Structure 1
Amino acid sequence: RESRQRAESALLLAVVTLLLIRQLLKQRRPRGFPPGPSRLPLIGNVLSLASEPHVFMRKQSEKHGQIFSLDLGGISAVVINGYDAIKECLVHQSEAFADRPSLPLFEKLTKMGGLLNSKYGRGWIEHRKLAVSSFRCFGCGQKSFESKIAEECLFFLDAVDEHKGKAFDPKHLITNAVSNITNLIIFGERFAYDDREFQHMIEMFSENVELATNAWAFLYNAFPWIKILPFGKHQRLFKNAAEVYAFLVKIIERFSQNRVAQSPRHYIDAYLDEMYKTSGDPEASYSKENLIFSVGELIIAGTETTTNAIRWGVLYMALYPNIQGENEKEIDRVVGGARFPCWDDKASMVYTEAVLHEVLRFCNIVPLGIFHATSVDTVVRGYSIPKGTTVITNLYSAHFDEKYWDHPELFYPERFLDGDGNFIKREAFVPFSLGRRHCLGEQLARMEMFLFFSTLLQRFHLGFPPGSVPSVAPRLGMTLQPQAYCICATRRQPDAKCRTGKF
């Protein structure tokens, strides 16, 4: 018996040794690969990404150059910093950098299907084309859709009004209002602000956006076997994802009832039409599972980013009353009090545009974008990057690139205005990323931000409760969102008398 135990111990030791050797071999940089910071055995640079990874990466670029590598626990990743390098990869070599990495976390959550995380190929092309078509047919491509956003703005303003100038946290109301714009495209209708089931789903989505860049998520990608551990934030992420998946199954079934083939009312109908048309094609990517993934991704992508951009905008207006005052003067001059702001006013409201652009630049809503991967072997600035390499584009570094921005550490909307007060586009402004995988909802997000922000400032003056100045340090995740804060919204304009865009 004793000899048997010794044999088992020796076998276990041999297996562990082989696994350690295998892991260490995985950590060797490929020939011609970009250099990078020193790393720890087994876990590589994972711990360095536990706090403000976008800041860490920008600092490392000062030592190792705009293109360097990180070791994510045996996963070799390339980090692209600075606008020039990002443009060189995502625009000049757009196809080579258009894939998504086959990371264990992505594979578990979406099986590399759906829309945002799908591999570069037919599946991504089909789903992107359908999403773009749906946004055009059911959303921002329609002039009439502006009136739907304007109507949601009024629901939002009325909800703010209920606080009667007293302090409240605007996160819930902004999230509800913004999510309803995407809901109109996906489901064909909005959800009431007190729909607890839908709000619970949005809260779980938002929590997973934070958890997806937690150190536990990076460790799971490096060591998928940790799924057997009963603890760790990755377990919370998986629990949330399963609950959201079950909810989406139910809600998709609800909104697909009474469907008339080839007469789509919303994205779900359009997707089911494509499923039917390609049902005889074994290579087609449309499926009920990919429909669920796509709906979930569109909801969170359409809610989380725009919500946080508006929340940052509200926070900075209260922090900088002089900037808010200039905004209010412009709104009063261009729009007045006889009607609400409309999309056509944007060309005349250059200061408001400058403020919104500075919010997106300075606050870096999605600092690292969504991870890319190389679809082929490629060479960038003399470095060899093999096919399938994880690529992280540090959009934050582009927005703080001193080659393109004077004093980027300052919140200064006037950087988007010329000497005559006209709005100017800035080349290194890339909040929606670049290349083939750039945000497909950019136009809708811009319309939402402008209309929600301008109508809010038209009716209310924003300030903090007496003696309260919140922190501007962000909560970290795939997106950067403000810490919870309270605002006081004091009326500036009289009650609206109808919901058609006029008082």
Structure 2
Amino acid sequence: MELRGAATLFLAACISCLIFLWKRKQKQQTSKLPPGPTPLPLLGNVLQLSRTHLFKSLVTLGEKYGPVFTVYLGSRRVVVLCGHEAVKQALVDHGEVFGGRGRMPTLDRIFHGYGVIFANGERWKQLRQFSIMTLRNFGMGKRSLEERITEEAQCLVEEIRKTKGSPFDPSHPIGHAIASVLSAITFGQRFDYQDEKFAHIIDAIQDLFLELSTPWTQLYEMFPGIMQFLPGPHNRILKDVKVLHDFVTERVQMNQETLDPSCPRDYIDSFLIKMEEEKQNPQSEFHTKNLVLSAVHLFFGGTEMVSSTLRYGFLLLMKYTEIQGKVQEEIDHVIGKNRSPATEDRSQMPYTHAVIHEIQRFSNIIPLGIPHAVIQDTQFRGYTLPKGTDVFCLLGSALQDPQHFINPEDFDPRNFLDENGSFKKNNAFVAFSSGKRMCLGEGLARMELFLVFTSVLQHFTLKSPINPQEIDLTPKASGFWHVSPRYKLCAHPR
């Protein structure tokens, strides 16, 4: 018995010694890092992070440890930036060193650093420069693209008119309208609402967006080494991405067969021409893999970000009917009922412009942003961030910064209006991110939001089948992204 007791005491002493040595090593490694909660071996800070409200739990930690702090997602170290000032300082003032793309294991296992959004280094520079130039050539911010969006908005109006005021789920028609605009730019073709194949693509986009915000995905982000071998909902992401990948690959093959180098029709044609021009350049990043994955990124990101914002926007206007009424008064005054809205109307519609901005701010679609990484050892606010450190710039914390927005938890268009009722810019508005990695299609998204939003409200009054006071604005899922709740609306012709 004495021997057994001595062995137990010795084992306890060894375990205590190992824990002490591990903590001392952690302290030495993190002594110059921002502060944060003490991580557990292997688990990291999983106990301090909510699996259903990750953004809120990070903001709460920021209130305790300050606007710059460190958390561990499993064994993965992440520096988190909270509030407008910290986010701006990193993405704008130190944009070069914070310009790396951080890890996102859920998608890294699919994209492997290829494609314009998840690339780094020279690959990212080549693809981003090309994509910006190509989008501009195909009309981003120009009249030709505006006409295409206007036509699609009118198609959406006619599709909604078919409901004859009965309750319907707007997810698919809104998603189809925005996807068709992106399809025309990326693939040179729009698709009818009755096209079953395209409807399947839209379903895959919406499912992928939802799956990327579930607790299962967050577990994968924390423990990819284990989760990749386990069955579960997190593997549905592979299926959804494959649907998009196969669709884009088919479109690339079709374009290759009918390509006219003197007359590019879309993004894919332009990329194929660039591939031919640089086929002798061993450093070129223009090859089929980057083409397919860049097109997937543009199509998925451009479709779901805008359609999610519109879905949230229409839900908000059903809840706050007086705001909907003011928007329609401005539409009637500036546009009338006999012509389609135009982007030039925006400058004469400060209230509508403010409401759209407030919808983006309140819906907070990408609260954590897409992870960044520092590309070299970096001094930031007195701390040392080692090269390669992942950084979460909480865009949502900037959009809810009480120093820049009145009652940030509430929906209030006055955040973007001055005392005279004119539109007022707000520097903390970072719905499209900031700096070198900001959204490629910002101009396109702004145009889509305004033209589709005003076209629908020009023709319909949106009413909820339930009491407006009972409308729940809580996201359907809240992880890396916020997914708008599913609902039904009644569109009554005006």
Q: CA 1:230/1:430 → structure 2, altered by over 3 Å: closer, same or farther?
A: closer
Task: Measure how far apart 1:26 and its partner are.
Answer: 8.1
Task: Provide the residue aligned with 1:481 in structure 2.
Answer: 483
| Matches of 1:183 and 1:478, distance apart in 2 | 26
Matches of 2:474 and 2:45, distance apart in 1: 24
Aligned to 1:274: 274
Cα distance in 2 for residues equivalent to 1:185 and 1:491: 31
Match for residue 359 of structure 1? 359
Q: Hey, what's the Cα distance between the residues in 1 that align with 2:410 and 2:146? A: 33
| Distance (Å, rounded) in 2 between the aligned partners of 1:466 and 1:51 | 26
User: Residue 22 and residue 181 in structure 1: after superposition, are their counterparts in 2 closer, same or farther (change >3 A)?
Assistant: farther
* Partner Cα distance (2:455, 2:108) in 1: 41
Compute the RMSD of aligned alpha carbons: 2.1
Structure 1 residues 228 and 460: CA distance shift in structure 2, 3 A: closer
The 2-side partners of 1:232 and 1:25 are apart by: 35
Check conservation: 2:376, 2:388, Cα contact below 8 A. yes
1:217-272 deviation line (CA, Å, top 9, x unaligned): 34434444435635122222223323432232123212333101242110000001
d(CA) in 1 for partners of 2:215, 2:27: 18
2:67 counterpart of 1:66: yes
1:501 aligned residue: none
Structure 1 residue 326 corresponds to structure 2 residue 326: yes
Change over 3 Å in CA distance of 1:225–1:28 after alignment to 2: farther
Per-residue deviation at 1:45? Answer: 2.3
Equivalent residue, structure 2, for 1:146: 146
Residue 160 (structure 1) aligned with residue 160 (structure 2): yes
Higher mean C-alpha deviation, range 187-196 or range 475-484: 475-484
C-alpha change, 1:279 and 1:161, in structure 2 (3 Å) is: same
Task: Tell me which amino acid in the other structure corresponds to 1:336.
Answer: G
Please say if 1:249 is aligned against 2:254: no
SS of the equivalent of 1:408 reads coil
Greater helix proportion:
2
Partner Cα separation in structure 2 for residue 79 and residue 262 of structure 1 = 48
CA contact (8 A) 1:46 1:218 kept: no
Distance 1:373 1:85 in 2: 15
Partner of 2:77: 76
Matching of residue 95 in structure 1 with residue 91 in structure 2: no
Tell me the distance in 2 between the aligned counterparts of 1:463 and 1:455: 16
Rounded Cα–Cα distance in structure 1 between residues aligned with 2:26 and 2:278: 41
**What is the percentage of aligned positions where both structures have the same residue?**
36
* Residues 385, 262 of structure 1: alpha-carbon distance in 2 compared, 3 angstrom cutoff: farther
Tell me the residue number matched to 1:234: 234
1:289-327 per-position Cα deviation (integer Å, ceiling 9, x unaligned)? 111111111011111110011111101111011101111
In structure 2, C-alpha distance between the alignment counterparts of 1:490 and 1:271, rounded to whole Å: 44
- From the superposition, tell whether residues 464 and 27 of structure 1 become closer, same or farther in structure 2 (CA, over 3 Å): farther
Could you tell me whether the CA contact under 8 Å between 2:302 and 2:445 is conserved in 1? yes
Assess, with a 3 A threshold, how the Cα gap between structure 1 residues 55 and 247 changes in structure 2: closer, same or farther.
same
Kept in 1, the 8 Å contact 2:71–2:78? The answer is yes
* Equivalent residue letter for 1:328: Q
Q: Tell me the distance in 2 between the aligned counterparts of 1:27 and 1:164.
A: 65
Match of 1:7 in 2: none
The residue number in structure 2 matching 1:389 is 389
Rate the CA distance shift 1:477–1:251 in 2: closer, same or farther, 3 A. Answer: farther
Q: Secondary structure at the match of 2:337?
A: coil
The offset of 1:189, in angstroms, is 1.5
2:13 corresponds to which residue? none
- Is 2:399–2:430's contact at 8 Å kept on the other side of the alignment? yes
Tell me the equivalent position of 1:446.
Answer: 446
> Structure 1 residues 28 and 44, CA, compared in 2 at 3 Å: closer, same or farther?
farther
Unaligned runs of 5+ residues in structure 1 are 1-17, 493-503
Deviation at 1:283, TM superposition (A): 1.3
Equivalent residue letter for 2:68: I
Contact preservation (8 Å) 1:23, 1:42? no
* Residues 1:400 and 1:165: Cα distance change in structure 2 (over 3 Å): same
Summarize the Cα distance change of 1:27–1:106 in structure 2 as closer, same or farther, 3 Å threshold. Answer: farther
Q: 5 Å matches for 1:91-130?
A: 91-119=92-120, 121-130=121-130
Deviates further, 211-220 or 398-407: 211-220
Cα offset, 1:440, TM superposition? 1.2
Work out the CA distance in 2 between the residues paired with 1:73 and 1:398: 26
Is the 1:81–1:398 contact (alpha carbons within 8 Å) kept by the matching residues of 2?
A: yes
User: What is residue 4 of structure 1 aligned with on the other side?
Assistant: none
CA distance in 1, matches of 2:23, 2:277: 46
Which blocks of at least 5 consecutive residues in structure 2 are unaligned? 1-17
2:417 and 2:106 map into 1 onto residues whose CA distance is 43
Q: How far apart are 1:28 and its partner, in Å?
A: 7.8
In structure 2, give the amino acid aligned to 1:263: C
Larger deviation, residues 316-325 vs 406-415: 406-415
| Alpha-carbon distance between aligned partners in 1 of 2:418 and 2:102, rounded to the nearest angstrom | 41
> Following the alignment from structure 2 to structure 1, what is the Cα–Cα distance between the partners of residues 97 and 244?
33
Deviations 1:135-155 (A, max 9, x none): 111132321211111100110
Residues 340-419 of structure 1: pairs in structure 2 closer than 5 A: 340-419=340-419
Cα 1:24–1:109 change in 2 (3 A) is: farther
Whether the 8 Å CA contact 1:209–1:477 is kept in 2: the answer is no
> Residue by residue, what CA displacement relative to the aligned partner does 1:176-219 show, whole Å, maximum 9, x if unpaired?
00111111110111111222222222322332233334443344
| Structure 1: distance between partners of 2:318 and 2:24 | 51
C-alpha separation between the residues in 1 aligned to 2:74 and 2:126? 33
Partners of 1:165 and 1:337 lie apart in 2 by 19
TM score, norm. by length of structure 2:
0.91
Q: 1:134 to 1:27 in 2, by over 3 A?
A: farther
Which residue does 1:86 correspond to in 2? 87
1:280-299 equivalent positions in 2, closer than 5 A: 280-299=280-299
Instruction: Report the more deviating stretch, 201-210 or 446-455.
Output: 201-210
After superposition, give the CA deviation of every residue in 1:313-351 in whole Å (9 maximum; x if it has no partner): 101111011101111111111111221211110000111
Q: What residue is the counterpart of 1:301 in the other structure?
A: 301
> What is aligned with 2:207?
207
Instruction: Tell me the TM-score normalised to structure 1 length.
Output: 0.89
Aligned length: 472
Q: Which amino acid aligns with 1:67?
A: V
Secondary structure in 1 matching 2:184: helix
Structure 1 residues 355 and 137: alpha-carbon distance in aligned structure 2, compared to 1, 3 A threshold: same
Q: Is the 8 A contact 1:134 1:185 kept in 2?
A: no
Q: Which moved more, 1:187-196 or 1:350-359?
A: 187-196
Q: Partners of 1:103 and 1:144 in 2: how far apart? A: 36
Q: Decide whether the 8 Å contact of 1:26 with 1:74 is kept in 2.
A: no
8 Å CA contact retained: 1:330, 1:349: yes
